[in-house]
Amino acid sequence: MKPAPATELGFTLLELLVVLSLFTSLFGASALALNGVGENATSQSREAELALVQRAVEICHTQPGCAAAILPATGQPVGPQTPGFGAYLRRTSRYQYTWESGGANLHLADEEAPPTAALILQWNFNENGGNTTYDVSHQHAGALHGNTAWSNGVSGSALHFDGNDDYVQIPHSAQLDITGHALTLSAWVKWHGAPAAADHWANIINRNRDHEWGLQHSMNNNHFEFFVETENGRTFLYSTTENQAGEWYYVVGTYDGTLLRIYVNGQLENTRALSGALLPGNSSDLYIGTNSGKYRDFNGLVDTITIRDAVLTPQEIAAQYHAQKPSGSTPVSYWPLDENSGAIAHDNVDGNDATLQNASWITGALGSALHFNGADGYAEAPDASNLDIANELTLMAWVSTEDFRTAKILQKGDWDGYGLGLDIWRGWKVHVTTADGAKHSLRWQQDNRPQLHTWYHLALTYDGNQLKLYINGSLNNSAAVTGTLKTTGRTACLGSDAGAQKFFHGIIDEAYIYDQALTTTEIRDYYQATLPANDPVTGAGALISEWHWDENAGTTFYDAQGINNGALHGSAITWTTGISGSALALDGADYAAINNSNSLNLAGEQLTVEVWVKWSVPPSSAGGWANILSKNQTLSWGPHYQLQHNSDNSHFEFAISTTNQNNAYLRSTTTITQGQWYHVVGTYDGTHSKIYVNGILENTASVSGNLLSSPASVYFGAKDGSSRYFTGVLDEAAIYALALTEAEVAARYAAPQP
């Protein structure tokens, strides 16, 4: 028979009976033992099991120093946690337990509980005093050594290290022995002094000197470094940002079994190949502010360290940075909706947790999300003073609707509050009520209603003078509104109007409330940073950037989406007549460049690149290429994605690199003629790459895996600004986070023919 699983402290449930029997002797017969509970007692009825565990929790909860919390599938404790008895149970039954605050309500889910989510260890350093810091589960306490002190952090307090024998030591545990092929480390860091000259590096977080992984600060170039050791060796990866003393940086390293990646402030900065399984820590402790040899001491502040045995996506990392960043605007409530199980949607900022009623978990724009049935499903957070906002306001959420109705998406109060919503006739809607009782609404300014089953990013802002509606990072509608907002004692709801009416039918993800009016730039940056890649938006959201080149003068060109503007480089750049308006004329030494951004750094399984081309001179040598659109890898010779002109046979080529195949290129069949316009499109959908010329599919290849992202810029007319120059005219280029269909490509070709 399969043995009962262990608790977080290493007990099996049967072993825990012995512990509880001690409570019987100490506190009397009321300290009930859990006879028959657990996977060794599968014949136990669900109801009887619930009664037994409920009683045990109630008894433990009433005793001094005793705290019991049944963890849901996320691995996060629910209810009070103290460093006393610590009976944290994870799957002590074949059923899944969740315990609501106070222990009054214990629930069992269906028999087949969802698998335990990826391990997350997190230290927030918010004790702000004492010689011990606790992780969020209170199971991995760290002792402060030397003169380690408390200081103001990104959020709450943080740890200050003076670079001389200050560190935190966390005893070894099985959870630190991550041995698979997935790891994410993150930390907020503000350094004050460079590493000591003799050491060259200062460790931020470090496990073990032999089988190690960690984050550190490099003396030589003021860069951050992520390092991992697997069965195939140890590899180090530098960031490219030259970080400055006295500034906060969010540093993240990920390993997925094939690549190391390092991110700074939500941006991917570097990648490096590495394979093999992570190695166990040989009982090594975890160190913060130094390494396991107690040298390489860090000088500065460290806040909010997390360790995961999973790989966060670029979009998830960007969302974490946006939610936590210390400068600029900070939300009063943020529901990431990433629990993926349980009856609580946690507010990651201020504890305004929402209780689910007939709402279910589903894959979202980023991680998991909530699905609402349109009949009686919602998630409700109690009224809180910080949600009774009177002056400035911002609401944001990713949303996908499954039908058209009048419904609420994120709502505080009823008709007398503020919210994001859906109008049955016009589509997306926002509204506020001012203190004089007047109601003010804005509706989506679009000819058609939103597409069903399609992700949209919605935002409302109010600054005391104007109410604004943003769709997919762009201002869509605005109106003059003045006065303070009406405050109520009503609850905040996702998916309904106070749980009573106007139920939403669809998916909601990444919901925010601010007591400030975010700027247009901040909303655009957030949309750009979190644009879903693995589950991309379609319609307006799928079009990342579009360049018409209709400026007809100057050295700057603009993205019609307002996100990725670029600059022209070269001494003889000219503008000419294009297929629609003006176009770029390149002479074989000129090019156009756009700096890398999260929206261009696609890492999922969906892509379309498009451009109109007229070549006048072939590439300079036999066997050569001229790049039309190019985004390259920085550490390998393959592209991220590109379109090019091949000189051997005057064909076009589309090339991508994925996690399964580097430089997967595909050649068109049309022999292209000098001086003629061609519409060239390359697409990738996770299983095939395709190339189209003039609206016709010309070639297909089997390719799989996620796009191999890169921090490189996007170039038009050159490979990297120094080689493979294109000579001719370019016009009407676009990049999508979606593989356009054959019909959609044909329609794009038919629209602006020369």
Structure tokens at 301: 């502040």
Give me the pLDDT at residue 322, please.
Answer: 79
DSSP 374: S
Q: Do residues 453 and 462 make contact, with C-beta atoms less than 8 angstroms apart?
A: no
Cβ atoms < 10 Å from Cβ of 522: 19
Q: Are strands 286-288 and 167-170 parallel, antiparallel or unpaired?
A: antiparallel
Point out the residues of the chain with pLDDT beneath 70. Answer: 1-119, 196-199, 209-210, 219-221, 326-329, 446-448, 532-542, 572, 620-623, 633-638, 647-649, 752-754
Residue (of 196, 189, 192) closest to 239 by Cα position: 189
Structure tokens at 687: 């299983």
- What's the predicted TM-score (pTM) here? 0.43
Residue (of 595, 570, 603) closest to 706 by Cα position: 603
Q: How far apart are CA 28 and CA 40, in angstroms?
A: 26
Those residues with Cβ within 8 angstroms of residue 25's Cβ, 6 or more apart along the chain or in another chain: none
Give the residue range(s) of CATH 2.60.120.200 domains in the chain. 120-312, 333-531, 542-750
Give me the pLDDT at residue 65, please.
Answer: 36
Give, to the nearest 10 degrees, the angle between helix 46-62 and helix 13-27. 50
What b/e readout covers 641-679, taking b as 16+ CB neighbours within 10 angstroms? bbbbbbbeebbbbbbbbbbebbebbbbbebebeeeebbb
Q: How far apart are CA 356 and CA 372, in angstroms?
A: 10
Phi-psi region at 231: left, alpha or beta (left = phi > 0; alpha = psi -120 to 50): alpha
CATH class, 333-531 region? mainly beta
β-sheet with 439-443: strand ranges across: 344-345, 354-357, 378-381, 492-494, 407-412, 418-423, 427-433, 439-443
pLDDT digits (tens, 9 = 90+) for 318-347: 888 877 876 566 899 999 999 999 999 999
Q: Do residues 698 and 577 make contact, with C-beta atoms less than 8 angstroms apart?
A: no
Structure tokens at 391: 């002056």
Pick one of 2.60.120.200, 3.30.465.10, 3.40.50.720, 2.20.25.10 as the CATH number of 120-312. Answer: 2.60.120.200
Q: Which fold has domain 542-750?
A: Jelly Rolls (2.60.120)
Give me the pLDDT at residue 422, please.
Answer: 95
For the chain, the maximum distance between any two Cα atoms, rounded to a whole number of angstroms, is 94
Q: Return the sign of the alpha-carbon dihedral for residues 121, 125, 126, 131.
A: positive
DSSP 486: P
Give me the pLDDT at residue 380, please.
Answer: 95
Cβ atoms < 10 Å from Cβ of 521: 11
β strands within 556-663, DSSP E: 556-557, 566-569, 574-577, 582-587, 591-594, 607-617, 625-632, 639-646, 651-656
**Displacement of CA 325 from its chain's centroid (Å):** 14
- What value, to the nearest 5°, has the Cα angle with vertex 318 and ends 312 and 322? 130
